[in-house]
Structure 1
Amino acid sequence: MKRLFRLMMVAAASRRAHFLSSLRASLAGSLAQAAAYGVLIGLIHELARPDIDSTAAWTWFAAFAALYAVEALCRLKELSFQYEDWARVMSDLRLGLGEKLRAMPLRELEKRSAGDLSALVGGNVSYASMAASHIAFLFVQAAVVPLVLILVVLAVDWRIGLVLVAILPATLPFVRGIQRRAGTGLRASNEADGAAAARIVEYVQGLPVLRAAGQVGASSRRLDDALKHQTQVMSESQRSLTLPSIVATTSMQLAIVVAVAVGASLVFDGRLSVPLLAALVVAAVKLAEPLANATAMIAVFELSEASLERIEEVMKSEPLGVDDPDARLDRYDVAFDDVVFRYRPDDAEPVLDGISFTLPARSLTALVGPSGSGKTTISKLVTRYADPDSGSVRIGDHDLRQVAPTEIYRHVAVVFQDVYLFDDTIRANIAMARPGATDEEVEAAARAANVHEFVSRLPHGYDTRVGEIGGALSGGERQRVSIARAILKDAPIVLLDEPTAALDSGSEVAVQQAIDALVARKTVLVIAHRLSTVIGADQILVIEEGRVTERGTHDELLDSRGRYADMWAAQTGARQWRVAGAAAEAPARG
């Protein structure tokens, strides 16, 4: 409970003070409730006497009513938190997680799947807030009421009290067993839930590909395996709880039966009155009730704890450090100085191995080379995706370790190879680069990126919704919207990751013209596989195995007859390739 309480304090966030005051009210209410049963026993004992003392009886009754009034007031305080603050706790948790995810280094964020994050922000937050708003109060009642009632029963009749003291603790090992098994099972279930959620997101987003491959429905092995594993984990968890739950509940019932038997024998011997026995039995039943509820709720306790642990893991994540939060970028040349970088500390070979180069301000630099050579990693480090293991990345006079990420993002615009558009209008997707932009500015950026032409043919123009991930647009249209977004941002540094990969020849020319217009005013880094798109670059860097193996202009690299010249020859030769059609081969087969 100590560990769970600490996690609950994390969940309560800005509502901690109210949460603690409500817990104190719950404790007071539970004490008042248990004390009221003790007073009730005194009242029944007085009423069962042959010569009733009415003053004493009314005193007992007044105490009984006062204690219940105290409990009612405490429960109102408790309920006000449960029903008024629950939504606020959930909101605070989600906002806090959102803030942490926003500040989390991209390298760490990419380790988490979309489905897993969805389960975290959705289900885990709900269970965690339930812990702070309901579970804590149930636990207080389950711990306080039985303890006080045992003391009351011992005070009234030590023999019946000893029965309860002897039998009820025997259930604790089984309760502990339920807790251990529930904890293990629910953590495994949480992992299985996250994996299943990730596969569901993957399935929905990849339906066109899955349909083309005949892997939908029962044929979708990845989703099917994840759901089967989820079912298996949940079933095993539930089966492991069955026996200890039955034993714990039976022990509590046995304690009441034995207590009644002892009380009956005392009545037969004339050492206990029937009304007093009835009152003690009621107290024993009331004693067992919260314990039974606690046993049934252990799985919920553990589920809440598992959810709280997952939330705490994210809440404890630290953003990249900033040496000088007030640093401001005022020069826009980019330099890599002997940079070594690994995605994982235990990787034997670095992705970038002592790489050094400079991107002069207001110039166009192209990165070319085979897939996996480190080109995209270079562009990520410019946005401080992560810090290099050694060496430095600088913009102007500033090592990026000195600069706040928001300052970097303000001066860098990125067009990704895999375009992501939000399920909103075309106008909103472009304007998100500069929320205060006018419609005229949005349209000017769209024209520069060759977006206006296809938008003007749409029924709703710029107010057309693009669908989830931009699914209502073609690949080339999505790419052009993304480029328009970068143009509108008008950042002094622009990173383009294969910007023309998804464009037809007509659109490629228009987009290339837009990129050319940026060169005179911005520092542009282009990752390109199609070498014909970077012929006019101020410098071309050939990247192989995380190193710069060649650098120069297009003509200089051709003259050097190195790796770039071989790549150029291979690509220009590929343009002459032709695929023989079936119709052309038909006469020969005839």
Structure 2
Amino acid sequence: MIRMLLRVLGPEYARPVRRTVALMVVTAIVEGLSYGLLVPVLRELLGGDPAAARPWLVAFGAAVAVYAVLRYLSDLSGFRVGSVLLGGMYHRLGDHLARLPLGWYDSGRVGEVSVLAGRGVLQAMSVIAHLLAPFVSACVTPLTIVVVMLASDWRLGLAALAAVPVVAAIQVWAARSTAAADAARAGRDRAATGRVIEYLQAQPVLRAGGRTGERFRLLDDSLEEVRRASRRGVLAALPGVLGLTLTVQAIFTALLVLGAHLALGGSVGAAELLAVLVLAARCADPLLSLSDIGGRLRAARFELGRLDAVLRTPPLPAPTTPLRPAHRGLELASVTFRHDDRTVLDDLTLSVPPGQRLAVVGPSGAGKSTLLQLIARFHDVDAGAVRVGGVDVRSIGTEVLMAQLAIVFQDVYLFDGSIEENVRLGRPDAGEAEVRAAATAARLDEVIERLPGGWAANVGEGGALLSGGERQRVSIARALLKDAPIVLLDEVTSALDPVNEAAVHEGVERLMAGRTVVMVAHRLRAVERADRVAFLDGGRIVEEGCHDELLRRGGPYAAFWNASPTPAERTESR
């Protein structure tokens, strides 16, 4: 458990964790030894000269005082180390998640990461602060008492020692019997969290379908599965709890019978027998608590295992000697990329000279957005190479690569903050005049003027308080502020109304001016003004050339072009 905890946390936390564990062990030993002093105390009190017990009582009081101080220090150390570990774990998990390829984030990861980053991390990191001290005490204190019993009377001590492997075997059996139930319950929890998120995101669809008054069956079924899994987990843990309780009671009864037999035979005095029975009774409480502590530790260990699995997921490898791009051109050389069992891009070769605009057109599922993601190194290719400025993106440091690119997606995500904070993400150190100029160029100033809070207006989670066109203007202003030499556009105007489309198009034109551009687009205006058009279908470039040339050929691009826009839009664009 401790080994896995240190592996999850990293080597920098090894020393404080080991120091805290050592302090907890010493505290548990001192507790057991303090109880051991009851043997001479009771022997003298019940003997011929009770006054002789006074030095032993003083020693017992001193031992209890030392134990109290050590317990305070060990608990304080556990809380402090636990707080540090919790913050460190969040930072390490967040940094690692940010380095993982986007292909890792499939639809099933949303619920998993939500549970893991919330309850999972708290449960795993609670080991040091809340679980380790009582667990160490429940294990080490009874063992110390058994050693004291061996010193007091070897026969009763051996009888108590014989119970140690029995208790350990029950704990191992209980852990194995509940492992499958714990895993099933965790899986159901992740699925239910995903369903809750899906239910919240699907509210527009449910309401449009008139289903606001009825229950969401998929969510109900998932929550019912959680209930059943929890019930199975309780039933699976019940035999271990009962087994441990019965075993502890049986051991105490056996010691009582053996002690009575020895006392009646004159081998053990009444005072010694009473002291040994008091020690045995004191062992019972921590041993009985093992079932509860063990269950919580198993749950924490399971979460640690999940954290360990995520942290072991290999991130995109960083170059050992990073290179810098020599220019702002782009090239994809014999690129093949697979996602799951599907080949998305197949031996694709494409180049964009510095300062040129390339429009990528094709049917849905052709791999257009994936092409942009490979340029930004959201994934690594399976074969071939993606080069920015003549350098393979795998040989460019992440910060340097991102500094070369300004990306505007179709679905814009804004962080829950002010408009200015979201624009400044493009370049946090930009001056106020630069931020205002970028907003004006993106026609975001029109939005700011009509919002009550102006620049300080909150956009809501994901930008929910703004319209799609307004969010797109924030995204373009952010890209303009970044002032990167290469621009990647992913159908930025496909879902906008004419007014917002005109405003966004004007901002996009300013963003593209003088830069190398790769745009995924269906709108005629954007495609016609590109220097070159690449028609992508089935993961391959089937046609490439300027717009007019491809129309004259009458090939797949011309057919797609004639089928896509309405006649009115085609006339307007010309």
For 2:38 and 2:510, locate their aligned partners in 1 and report how far apart those are by CA, in whole Å.
88
Pairwise mapping of residues 487-506 of structure 1 onto structure 2 (< 5 A)?
A: 487-506=480-499
For 1:270 and 1:494, locate their aligned partners in 2 and report how far apart those are by CA, in whole Å.
95
What does residue 582 of structure 1 align with?
A: none
For 1:457 and 1:111, locate their aligned partners in 2 and report how far apart those are by CA, in whole Å.
37
Pairwise mapping of residues 428-443 of structure 1 onto structure 2 (< 5 A)?
A: 428-443=421-436
Pairwise mapping of residues 510-521 of structure 1 onto structure 2 (< 5 A)?
A: 510-521=503-514
Code of the aligned partner of 1:546 = G
Q: Is the 1:340–1:389 Cα contact (8 Å) retained in structure 2?
A: yes
Instruction: Kindly state the Cα deviation for residue 7 of structure 1 after the two structures are TM-superposed.
Output: 1.7
Instruction: Kindly state the Cα deviation for residue 271 of structure 1 after the two structures are TM-superposed.
Output: 4.0
Equivalent of residue 141 in structure 2, options 120, 145, 148: 145
What does residue 19 of structure 1 align with?
A: 17
For 1:265 and 1:336, locate their aligned partners in 2 and report how far apart those are by CA, in whole Å.
88
What does residue 248 of structure 1 align with?
A: 244
Pairwise mapping of residues 224-263 of structure 1 onto structure 2 (< 5 A)?
A: 224-263=220-259
CA separation of 1:489/1:192 partners in 2, compared to 1, >3 Å: closer, same or farther? Answer: same
Instruction: Kindly state the Cα deviation for residue 302 of structure 1 after the two structures are TM-superposed.
Output: 0.5
What does residue 408 of structure 1 align with?
A: 401
Pairwise mapping of residues 334-349 of structure 1 onto structure 2 (< 5 A)?
A: 334-344=330-340, 347=341, 349=342
Aligned pair 1:5/2:17, yes or no?
Answer: no
Structure 2, unmatched stretches of 5+, are none
Pairwise mapping of residues 296-311 of structure 1 onto structure 2 (< 5 A)?
A: 296-311=292-307
CA separation of 1:49/1:205 partners in 2, compared to 1, >3 Å: closer, same or farther? Answer: same
Equivalent of residue 348 in structure 2, options 355, 362, 367: 355
Instruction: Kindly state the Cα deviation for residue 470 of structure 1 after the two structures are TM-superposed.
Output: 1.2
CA separation of 1:144/1:519 partners in 2, compared to 1, >3 Å: closer, same or farther? Answer: closer
Equivalent of residue 130 in structure 2, options 121, 125, 134: 134
For 2:364 and 2:565, locate their aligned partners in 1 and report how far apart those are by CA, in whole Å.
19
CA deviation string 1:281-317 (max 9, x = no partner): 1100111222111122111010110111111122223
Aligned pair 1:484/2:474, yes or no?
Answer: no
Structure 1, 385-394 or 275-284: larger mean CA deviation = 275-284
Q: Percent identity?
A: 35
Structure 1, unmatched stretches of 5+, are 578-590
Q: Is the 2:81–2:128 Cα contact (8 Å) retained in structure 1?
A: no
Code of the aligned partner of 2:406 = A
CA separation of 1:464/1:51 partners in 2, compared to 1, >3 Å: closer, same or farther? Answer: closer
Determine helix, strand or coil for the equivalent of 1:288. Answer: helix
Code of the aligned partner of 2:268 = L
What does residue 284 of structure 1 align with?
A: 280
The two structures have a TM-score, normalised by structure 1, of 0.91
What does residue 42 of structure 2 align with?
A: 44
Report the number of matched residues: 569
For 2:106 and 2:87, locate their aligned partners in 1 and report how far apart those are by CA, in whole Å.
24
Structure 1, 556-565 or 198-207: larger mean CA deviation = 198-207
For 1:24 and 1:351, locate their aligned partners in 2 and report how far apart those are by CA, in whole Å.
54
CA separation of 1:229/1:217 partners in 2, compared to 1, >3 Å: closer, same or farther? Answer: farther
Pairwise mapping of residues 182-331 of structure 1 onto structure 2 (< 5 A)?
A: 182-216=178-212, 219-331=215-327
Q: Is the 1:434–1:489 Cα contact (8 Å) retained in structure 2?
A: yes
For 2:13 and 2:306, locate their aligned partners in 1 and report how far apart those are by CA, in whole Å.
20
Pairwise mapping of residues 159-198 of structure 1 onto structure 2 (< 5 A)?
A: 159-167=155-163, 169-198=165-194
CA deviation string 1:29-77 (max 9, x = no partner): 21122122222212211332225683xx444344434433432332232
Q: Is the 1:362–1:519 Cα contact (8 Å) retained in structure 2?
A: no
Structure 1, 481-490 or 295-304: larger mean CA deviation = 481-490
Determine helix, strand or coil for the equivalent of 2:459. Answer: coil
Q: Is the 1:340–1:391 Cα contact (8 Å) retained in structure 2?
A: yes
Structure 1, 299-308 or 11-20: larger mean CA deviation = 11-20
Determine helix, strand or coil for the equivalent of 2:564. Answer: helix
RMSD (Å), alpha carbons: 2.3
For 2:61 and 2:13, locate their aligned partners in 1 and report how far apart those are by CA, in whole Å.
32
Aligned pair 1:375/2:368, yes or no?
Answer: yes
For 1:285 and 1:52, locate their aligned partners in 2 and report how far apart those are by CA, in whole Å.
24
Determine helix, strand or coil for the equivalent of 2:403. Answer: helix
Instruction: Kindly state the Cα deviation for residue 475 of structure 1 after the two structures are TM-superposed.
Output: 1.7
For 2:418 and 2:83, locate their aligned partners in 1 and report how far apart those are by CA, in whole Å.
31
For 1:506 and 1:78, locate their aligned partners in 2 and report how far apart those are by CA, in whole Å.
66
Instruction: Kindly state the Cα deviation for residue 248 of structure 1 after the two structures are TM-superposed.
Output: 1.5
Instruction: Kindly state the Cα deviation for residue 556 of structure 1 after the two structures are TM-superposed.
Output: 0.5
Aligned pair 1:106/2:99, yes or no?
Answer: no
Q: Is the 2:333–2:386 Cα contact (8 Å) retained in structure 1?
A: yes
Q: Is the 1:168–1:252 Cα contact (8 Å) retained in structure 2?
A: no
CA deviation string 1:509-563 (max 9, x = no partner): 3332333334441111110123343111100000000000001111001001011
For 2:244 and 2:295, locate their aligned partners in 1 and report how far apart those are by CA, in whole Å.
14
Structure 1, 440-449 or 555-564: larger mean CA deviation = 440-449
CA separation of 1:539/1:49 partners in 2, compared to 1, >3 Å: closer, same or farther? Answer: same
Aligned pair 1:424/2:417, yes or no?
Answer: yes
Q: Is the 1:31–1:145 Cα contact (8 Å) retained in structure 2?
A: yes
Determine helix, strand or coil for the equivalent of 1:350. Answer: strand
Q: Is the 1:86–1:133 Cα contact (8 Å) retained in structure 2?
A: yes
Determine helix, strand or coil for the equivalent of 1:507. Answer: helix
Equivalent of residue 451 in structure 1, options 441, 444, 463: 444
What does residue 33 of structure 2 align with?
A: 35
Structure 1, 436-445 or 374-383: larger mean CA deviation = 436-445
Code of the aligned partner of 1:559 = R
Q: Is the 2:324–2:396 Cα contact (8 Å) retained in structure 1?
A: yes
Instruction: Kindly state the Cα deviation for residue 132 of structure 1 after the two structures are TM-superposed.
Output: 2.3
CA separation of 1:84/1:217 partners in 2, compared to 1, >3 Å: closer, same or farther? Answer: farther
CA deviation string 1:474-509 (max 9, x = no partner): 222222222222122111111110011122223323
